[in-house]
Structure 1
Amino acid sequence: MSRRAFILVEGHKLMGLQYIQAAQRLGLHPITLSADPGQYEYLAAESIEAISVDTDSLGSLIRECSRLSATYEIAGIAGFSRADESACVTAGKVCRHFDLPGPNPDSIERCCDKYTQRQLLAEAGVPIPAFRLAANAGEVEDAAAEIGLPVIVKPAVGSGSVGVRLCRNVDEVAEHTTYLLSGSHIWPSSPRILVEEFAQGPQYTAHIMGNEVIGIEAADLHPPPHFVFHQFTFSAPLTDDEHKRIADVSLSCLRALGLGWGPTCIEFRWTKRGPVVIEVNPRLGGTPIPQLVQLAYGIDLITEHIKLAIGEEWDLRRKHSHTAAARLLVPDRNGILDWIGGDSRAAAVPGVADVKFYVESKTPIVRKGDYRDHIGHVIAASPCPARTEAILQRAADLIDWSIAPFPNVGK
């Protein structure tokens, strides 16, 4: 009897190993297909089978999976999102080719184009910010004038808040447009810029598997103009009515976009008119969301996602209801990371579930104004929201680092 393999299209520097380990616990043999397997250090460290293949090419992936099927029974295939989330789309197409469970690749592709996503949500009557599409500086300027300042200016395709900025006046609109169009920002295709109304209010994210809202997280961000997350908390402090309104709008998003298979996370701002959808992401929330959900509710989203992908019955029932929160560590300046420490002391605080640094000493720090600015996290959990916050703050206060200025080359 051939071994059952679970194919991962590309990897993930923070969550990839969790998927590998979850697949192994389910008795599967994980295999990663990647254009550059060397970028995922855990593959070599854990002796995980990895194959170099052009993951942008559907034909190449089908040929490689066909070759593997001579040795293994391919139980399922899943793709990690990249900057443009194309791997999720391609993985969905490979699933269809081999008649395996998977998302609708057309729905994911439409959803990943933020302008198309906005159009479909608007047609369905889902509350969203006012928006315009622009291809050049003049169109961006006109769109900002039509919508009214301040506005959000961002790429129409992308993730992780890369290239997203709040522009409060015409000079900031012009400055950020120049940045996006000057070659500094990497575009997967021809530049298309989305200009949006700035929806003001607390931020929340609904995390969904299939058509079930697993939980709603409160998200705190660092001050604008960029959108860098500072803290996540499960569950968000919402009334029953507020929770229901966000859940109802979330399900309306799934219907409008043709989603409803596997994981989805939907970002909201609670404005004067209630929940307004900022973005629908057809994927699992990134690190450390799965860990927080498991601590808060006892649900292992990664394992349940794999079960769905291999056609097995999943279990999304809550085992308990605690409060779990993550503080994301973000440097306040650029330079060379002299040292970072305090992780052992922070981890020893009762109630702390995890302390992780994403960088090592002597790493150059160049802030981008997006998810790449995070250099680590601290996670705490307890049955009580106030206690969880106190534990988190105590542990975060024990962590410190030093950043030295970049040397003056040539002096």
Structure 2
Amino acid sequence: MSPQRILLLSRKPLIERPLHEWLAEVVTDTVLITVPGALADVGADVPGRFRDCRTVTDYQSWFTEWTAECAAREHRVGLVASSSEDDVLRSARLRDRLGLPGQTMASALAYRDKLIMKNTAGVQVPRLRAIDGPTDLIEFIEEVALPVVVKPRRGSASIGVRILRDEADVTAFLTAGELPAAPQRSGRWIAEEYIDGDFFHVDGVIADAAVVHCWPSQYNSGNAEAAQRESELSSVLLAADDPRTILLQRFAADVHRTLPTPSFPTSFHLEAWIPAHGRPVLCEVASRTGGALIARTYREAFGVHLSRENLRGQCGLGLELRHQPTAPRRQGGWVLFPPGHGRFEPPTGACPVPGTEIELHMPAGTFAHGPEFAAHSAAAVEVHADTAEQVRERIRETTRWWSEEVRWVN
């Protein structure tokens, strides 16, 4: 049973994540903290279904956390739930201050801070080092040799990630003025050796420190690499008989056995490489649903929405899927096309590739300056077929069609 009252943090549009429907059993005892735009395109009565609904204009500001704490104390909530990576640490801090059950700060940090995460996970990880100044980076490069990757310890969406492949890249990074601020913001940066291998993500649900169900997919490249090249980012669910499927499922189980997992069921998003030696290497893992079209693809394949499962688990409600499927009921994948440079002229007709569904993320005429982060897209395409290889081929065909039809006019 769910506690009587719940504080829920979510900035996602309710038209995409219908929280009032997903949590129908407890919506009248739920206090929602959100942004004004999240309430657009839903019925005027929807905010009134919640016990209380409070909006903040700048969701990233400290005021959001203060608003949430004031609402939690006023309504005497018994649980704090969240739906995105922005809120993992924020929610844990609130639970600690209010003495509420749920994911603790120690658990939240293990899933958000990449240095703590990789020092805790009992699996293979890249060689790494905390970077609090230029000397730390120089010594690490001397130790492991180029290329190396520098990234924010608590970053997301590959924002701030730099791949330093040669001395010119190192010079450019040091010149950019980011590291000189590090001594004043200790604990911000981490450097890792560059791992050369195929890149994958594993998504699913954990409960009681064990994986309830999950499935791996293969990216077409690293997220940071795609953002730096300003090229498409795509992903394809692995086939059930692909030997990497069981390998990555076992790897995900091993990761969660060693980390301090949340005390409630939650979705997770794990990324890993498989280098030439064939043993997975952990990139990172998060206690929330993956971005892009991961949740949609998983829903088509297994009949459950990971974000819905995540929220219901946090709120003490039952999960829809409690076993590991043997195979996707439908093979799928997706591709994101990044913004170019200039005024956007989208395709004039529908995508001719079968099994595809395109969604434009930018209106025609929008002026763009390239992608701002890994999943920043002008359009997203869901792709489905009978086999994983057919999905890959349809993604290739869709990519050719997009490159031929789209114009970015200066």
Q: Please report the TM-score for the alignment, with normalisation by the length of structure 1.
A: 0.79
User: What is residue 50 of structure 2 aligned with on the other side?
Assistant: none
User: What is residue 286 of structure 2 aligned with on the other side?
Assistant: 281
User: What is residue 324 of structure 1 aligned with on the other side?
Assistant: 332
Cα deviation 1:92-124 (Å, max 9, x = unaligned): 444567787633332112331211222223xx3
Letter of the 2:346 counterpart: I
User: What is residue 408 of structure 1 aligned with on the other side?
Assistant: none
CA distance in 1, matches of 2:98, 2:131: 39
Classify the secondary structure of the residue corresponding to 1:221. Answer: coil
Given candidates 258, 265, 270, the residue that maps to 2:274 is: 270
Given candidates 387, 390, 394, the residue that maps to 1:387 is: 390
User: What is residue 132 of structure 2 aligned with on the other side?
Assistant: 135
Classify the secondary structure of the residue corresponding to 1:202. Answer: strand
Moved more, 267-276 or 388-397: 388-397
User: What is residue 9 of structure 1 aligned with on the other side?
Assistant: 9
Letter of the 2:8 counterpart: L
User: What is residue 19 of structure 2 aligned with on the other side?
Assistant: 20
Classify the secondary structure of the residue corresponding to 1:17. Answer: coil
Given candidates 381, 392, 399, the residue that maps to 1:378 is: 381
Letter of the 1:250 counterpart: A
CA contact (8 A) 1:5 1:28 kept: no
User: What is residue 72 of structure 2 aligned with on the other side?
Assistant: 65
Letter of the 1:259 counterpart: T
Q: Does 1:196 align with 2:200?
A: no
Q: Could you tell me how far 1:20 is from its partner in structure 2?
A: 2.9
Cα deviation 1:137-195 (Å, max 9, x = unaligned): 23212211211111112122211111112211122022124336179x99995463211
Q: Please report the TM-score for the alignment, with normalisation by the length of structure 2.
A: 0.80
Letter of the 1:217 counterpart: S
Q: Could you tell me how far 1:59 is from its partner in structure 2?
A: 5.3
Cα deviation 1:291-332 (Å, max 9, x = unaligned): 00011222222222232122122122449532111011124x
CA contact (8 A) 1:208 1:214 kept: yes
Classify the secondary structure of the residue corresponding to 2:8. Answer: strand
Q: Could you tell me how far 1:385 is from its partner in structure 2?
A: 2.2
Letter of the 2:406 counterpart: W
CA distance in 2, matches of 1:247, 1:42: 34
CA distance in 2, matches of 1:237, 1:180: 47
Given candidates 295, 316, 334, the residue that maps to 2:341 is: 334
Unaligned runs of 5+ in 1: 406-411
User: What is residue 409 of structure 1 aligned with on the other side?
Assistant: none
User: What is residue 255 of structure 1 aligned with on the other side?
Assistant: 257
How many residues align structurally? 381
Cα deviation 1:217-273 (Å, max 9, x = unaligned): 111127568387611111357734x33332233222223220254122111110133
Given candidates 141, 145, 163, the residue that maps to 2:142 is: 145
Cα deviation 1:346-373 (Å, max 9, x = unaligned): 2x75423x32122222333223563253
CA distance in 1, matches of 2:159, 2:259: 23
CA distance in 2, matches of 1:238, 1:364: 45
Label 1:313 to 1:81 Cα distance change in 2 as closer, same or farther (>3 A).
closer
Classify the secondary structure of the residue corresponding to 2:11. Answer: coil
Which of 1 and 2 has higher RCO (CA within 8 Å, sep 6+)?
A: 2
Alignment of 1:148-163 (within 5 A): 148-163=145-160
CA contact (8 A) 2:10 2:32 kept: yes
Label 1:402 to 1:31 Cα distance change in 2 as closer, same or farther (>3 A).
farther
CA distance in 2, matches of 1:238, 1:165: 36
Cα deviation 1:35-86 (Å, max 9, x = unaligned): xx24xx34133245341358746554232134346xxxx686422435xx3x
Letter of the 1:171 counterpart: A
Alignment of 1:62-141 (within 5 A): 62-68=69-75, 77-81=80-84, 85=86, 87-94=87-94, 102-121=102-121, 124=122, 126-141=123-138
Given candidates 232, 244, 247, the residue that maps to 1:245 is: 247
Letter of the 1:230 counterpart: L
CA distance in 2, matches of 1:373, 1:177: 26
Label 1:137 to 1:309 Cα distance change in 2 as closer, same or farther (>3 A).
same
CA distance in 2, matches of 1:24, 1:110: 28
Label 1:201 to 1:9 Cα distance change in 2 as closer, same or farther (>3 A).
same
Alignment of 1:230-241 (within 5 A): 230-235=233-238, 239-240=242-243
CA contact (8 A) 1:92 1:104 kept: yes
CA distance in 1, matches of 2:333, 2:254: 28
Label 1:187 to 1:65 Cα distance change in 2 as closer, same or farther (>3 A).
farther
